[in-house]
Structure 1
Amino acid sequence: MHRRRRTALALCVALLGAGPLLTACGSEAHPGAAAVVGGDRIPVSALQAQVKDVRTAQQASPQSAQLIKNTGQLSRAKLHGLIFDKVLDRAAADAGVSVSRKELQEARAAMARQSGGEQAFAAMLLQQRGVAPDQIDDAVREQVQLTKLAAATGADLSTPPGQAAVTKTLTEASKKLKIDVNPRYGSWDDKAIQLADTKTPWIAQVTKNAPDEQTPVTG
């Protein structure tokens, strides 16, 4: 009896040590989590709320059918964004980088002007990145934070070497966070800084969606 219990315990420990898991033997280690990043849970409910906000905005658009068709894997894309933001936060903190509310407001205003106004800016983000109106500040903060992180590490995001340098910095932060993803959404790739097989890598987001001229920031 005791030998069987010890054997079962040993098997459980071996399975847990084989790779990052969101479930443990006999019970869920992180029930209701879409992912665990640095010990912090990203609840499935929070992910679903983000997806719902985007779908609501898409349905209100004249191009609703096309927008929804182009975002068939919206849950995975939004989870990628939620995880990426935490990785970026860790990399920025390690580099001593922060973004003030004033910087965020100034950057958003500049991006809106470059896009032809706030309404056009919101429409562009919804179409290109699946960003709902109430998620715009987070998207802008990501751009500003990346710009400042690159500056702090002496990297130029407009060049392949600069992108490689920032990717290396993000990879180091990602590894420190020991990211576990619920298998229903895939797995996290520390080197690429994205969910495996997700079509929204961070480099593509920055180079495609950033304004032609980055807003200068201070802090």
Structure 2
Amino acid sequence: MFRKSLKAAVCVLAAGTALAACGPLKPGAAAIVGHDRITDAKLDSAVTQWSKELPKYPEAQQLVQKAQADARAAAEGQPASPSDPNEVKPFDPSSPQRSALFLMIAIRSWDEVGREKGLIPNPGQVDAFLAKAGGPAGLNTSMVAQGLPTSYSDDFARTVMIQQALLARYGGGTADQQAEQMAEQRMVGDLVGVQRKLRISVNPRYGSFDKDMRFGSICPRLSTPDSGTPDHTAGEVKCQV
């Protein structure tokens, strides 16, 4: 149940358009999402916890290892192994930090969408959602496979619930593929509108957001770490160093 919806929940973050603004970062910040500061310490803690939990989820570990092998093959110009298009994987198989940060930003972005649309579920509704799905086990496997520890399971479930509620509001969630696509487009539009307001900034050690709201590659050079001063542009990616 969770794989397809969770994949959409994080991948649709990269489908937005029309945001290029980046504000200065304070020392110790991995990213700023609106008024919410994701600290380096919080990111490091999440990655440490994730690395300890990964061996406890063999299916997730297998998916991570496959994604890492595919990334290495791609870097060497070799074909990747066959995979299910709905198969979950880390955002950046070579960087647990970037993968975790991508998901943290996704969760915060969807929370804001949910607030604007009046669709934030309360803790009891999240618990009921997980119970109806047979508990958090399937969610945890998908989440760990993508780079976050199980302590974020409620946050991740909330993201899925917000998306499902939006899709239902816009006529999705049915067998009608055209209606589903139109609902997804409207949902992405909601996300883009919110992200224009949030002005997401990312520490260049972890990457950057380009003008199309994609989590881009790490900036090619750093001057003073964490100085938070706009310094140069690499292609269409505005880097802060």
Same fold (TM over 0.5): yes
Counterpart mapping for 1:13-28 below 5 A: 20-22=22-24
Match for 2:122 among 86, 93, 100? 100
Structure 1 counterpart of 2:140, one-letter code: A
1:172 aligned onto 2:193 = yes
Aligned amino acid, residue 96 of structure 1: G
CA contact (8 A) 2:47 2:148 kept: no
Q: Secondary structure at the match of 1:41?
A: strand
Structure 2: distance between partners of 1:196 and 1:106: 36
Deviations 1:111-165 (A, max 9, x none): 2x2xxx65455334423x234222222211110122223344x252672222111
1:81 aligned partner: 103
Identify the match of residue 187 of structure 1 among 174, 190, 208: 208
Out of 143, 146, 156, which is 1:139 matched to?
A: 156
Relative contact order: is structure 1 or structure 2 higher (C-alpha 8 Å, sep ≥ 6)?
A: 2
Cα distance, 1:76 vs. partner? 1.1
Paired residues for 1:47-126 under 5 Å: 47-62=43-58, 66=62, 69=65, 70=67, 71-111=93-133, 113=134, 118-119=136-137, 121-126=139-144
Distance 2:34 2:172 in 1: 28
Amino acid at match of 2:113: A
Q: Are the counterparts in 2 of residues 157 and 163 from structure 1 also a CA contact under 8 Å?
A: no
1:108 positional shift: 0.8
Structure 2: segments with no counterpart, 5+ residues: 1-19, 68-92, 175-179, 219-241
- 8 Å contact kept, 1:90–1:173: yes
Q: Which has the higher helix share?
A: 1
What amino acid is aligned across from residue 160 of structure 1 in structure 2? Q
Q: Give the residue type in structure 1 aligned to 2:55.
A: Q
- 1:60 shift after superposition: 3.7
Q: Which residue pairs with 2:38 in the alignment?
A: 42
Contact 1:171 1:191 in 2 (8 A): no
Structure 1: which amino acid aligns with 2:159?
E
1:40 and 1:55 map into 2 onto residues whose CA distance is 25
Q: What TM-score results when the alignment is normalised by the length of structure 2?
A: 0.60
Rg (Cα) greater in structure: 1
**Retained in 2: the 8 A contact 1:171–1:190?**
no
- Equivalences, count: 168
What is the CA-CA distance between 1:63 and the residue it aligns to? 6.6
CA deviation vs aligned residue, 1:17-71 (integer Å, no higher than 9, x gap): x96253xxxxxx5000011111331101111111111110113445787455344
- Secondary structure of the equivalent of 1:72? coil
1:211 corresponding residue in structure 2: none
2:178 matched to 1:161?
A: no
2:96 partner amino acid:
L
Q: Compare 56-65 and 74-83 and name the one that shifted more.
A: 56-65
Matched residue, 1:8: none
2:119/2:162 contact within 8 Å kept: yes
Report if aligned partners of 1:88, 1:170 keep a CA contact under 8 Å in 2: yes
CA gap of 1:185–1:160, structure 2 versus 1, over 3 A, is same
* Ranges of 4+ aligned residues in structure 1 off by more than 6 Å: none
Identity of aligned residues (%): 24
Q: Does residue 150 of the first structure (1) align with residue 167 of the second (2)? A: yes
Distance 2:166 2:127 in 1: 18
